[in-house]
């Protein structure tokens, strides 16, 4: 079977690891469902802890303008701009003929955005009272879209980059992607645009989507590209994948 032209910079995790990750992702999904029920039960009156945590983050941004500005900078990488990043990333992956990775990234990112919006409109929770929004989608709060795409777009890009980028730049660029992705949640609370429960819910949903999608990708990869030679392989997967 024809292999992708991209060159793996390191061995992919084995199928045993992939199966374990599926269970972890499923557990995160169950926790997200339970968390969603809890949010719906308290939708008109956020719990004391939720209110205190959210207010503390927002107050930190108000008291420290540099922190507020940094949060705005991070938020610039979220929202609708993710669509442009996804499109560019998919085109680059397609250009280097890393088709499985392109499909994985597009399915994960687009699927998680659609799922997040479905939950957001179904729950219909309002944002914290410190900000106002005109568009309907922007008035809805749970789960945090920026936090969700931080995991399923930017952290996923870090995973892909770790295996496909040259070692000289992979640590730096992938670390940058991770920082952008993981700090989306705190940034949204500093800006006063989400409750802490919105952020935690998005982290659970994003983790579930990423882990399950990554596990499925790994299992498919091992079944499709298992090499017969043990030379230069890890769990049957060669480091270099040239078509032949």
* For residue 238, pLDDT beyond 50: no
6 lies in some domain: no
122 lies in some domain: yes
This prediction has a pTM of 0.85
* For residue 233, pLDDT beyond 50: no
9 lies in some domain: no
88 lies in some domain: yes
| Secondary structure in 3-state letters for the chain | CCCCCCECCCCCCCHHHHHHHHHHHHHHHHHHHHHHHHHHHCCCCCCHHHHHHHHHHHHHHHHCHHHHHHHHHHHCCCCCHHHHHHHHHHHHHHHCCCHHHHHHHHHHHHHHHHHHHHHHHHHCCECCCCCCCCCHHHHECCCCHHHHHHHHHHHHHHHHHHHHCCCCCHHHHHHHHHHHHHCHHHHHHHCCCCCHHHHHHHHHHHHHHHHHHHHHHHHHHHHHCCCCCCCCEECCEECECCCC
* For residue 72, pLDDT beyond 60: yes
Residue-number span of the structural domain to which 40 is assigned: 15-238
243 lies in some domain: no
7 lies in some domain: no
10 lies in some domain: no
pLDDT per residue as tens digits for the range 4-30: 656 776 788 888 999 999 999 999 999
3 lies in some domain: no
pLDDT per residue as tens digits for the range 124-149: 888 888 766 555 556 788 999 999 99
pLDDT per residue as tens digits for the range 145-184: 999 999 999 999 999 999 998 889 989 999 999 999 999 9
Number of structural domains the chain divides into: 1
């Amino acid at each position: 079977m024809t292999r992708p032209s991209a060159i793996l910079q390191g061995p992919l995790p084995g199928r045993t690891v992939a199966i374990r990750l599926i269970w972890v992702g499923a557990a995160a999904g169950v926790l997200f469902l339970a968390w969603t029920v809890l949010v719906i039960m308290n939708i008109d009156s956020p719990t004391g802890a939720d209110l205190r945590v959210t207010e503390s983050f927002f107050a930190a941004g108000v008291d420290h303008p540099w922190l507020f500005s940094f949060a705005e900078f991070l938020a610039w990488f979220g929202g609708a701009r993710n669509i442009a990043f996804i499109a560019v990333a998919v085109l680059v992956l397609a250009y280097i003929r890393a088709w499985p990775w392109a499909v994985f990234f597009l399915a994960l990112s687009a699927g998680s955005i659609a799922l997040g919006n479905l939950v957001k409109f179904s729950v219909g929770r309002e944002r914290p009272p410190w900000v106002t929004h005109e568009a309907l989608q922007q008035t809805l709060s749970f789960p945090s879209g920026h936090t969700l795409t931080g995991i399923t777009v930017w952290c996923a890009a870090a995973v892909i980059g770790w295996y496909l980028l040259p070692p000289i730049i992979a640590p730096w660029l992938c670390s940058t992607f991770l920082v952008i992705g993981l700090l989306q949640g705190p940034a949204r609370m500093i800006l006063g645009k989400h409750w802490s429960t919105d952020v935690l819910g998005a982290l659970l949903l994003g983790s579930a989507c990423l882990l399950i999608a990554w596990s499925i990708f790994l299992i498919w990869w091992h079944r499709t590209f298992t090499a017969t030679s043990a030379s230069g392989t890890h769990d049957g997967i060669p480091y270099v994948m040239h078509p032949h």
